[in-house]
Structure 1
Amino acid sequence: MKTVMLSDEAYKKLASIKGSKSFTELVSELVDKVKGVKLADIDKFFGIISSDEARSLQMNAAKIRRRFKVRA
């Protein structure tokens, strides 16, 4: 078991939606939802641009990266 510190505002927000669940159950459920949303958000973009467009974007990104190399 671990202790997590929250601001009063964050605690109130969690408490207002937890219902009969424990905070552990609620946080676990919310984390799972966020993970699922991120994957779903990415999936909707697969195949929306052509291979030529993707190649062009990659080349442009590489050019930009070369111009902004960090000096140590």
Structure 2
Amino acid sequence: MQACKNKPQSKTVNSSLQCEHDENSSWELFDLIEMQTEFALCQSMAGSKTLAIMFCLRVMGYGGFILFLLKMAS
């Protein structure tokens, strides 16, 4: 958890960069969401075209393999 260094002067929050919580409190929900594997994958894919292409090819490959197995089973 990262402590917030820039506290606003008023109690209203105008942007996501400002924070109004104490040093003792935490953003539990955001921390839980940020720890999810899918969240990290989406962040990485947003920054890397190569990873996004590799992920799409892998999903299509798995889908094709499943369709192949279903066709062979019927």
User: TM range, normalised to the smaller chain?
Assistant: 0.3 to 0.5
Whose relative contact order is higher, 1 or 2, with alpha carbons under 8 Å and at least 6 apart? 2
> As a proportion of its length, which structure holds more helix?
1
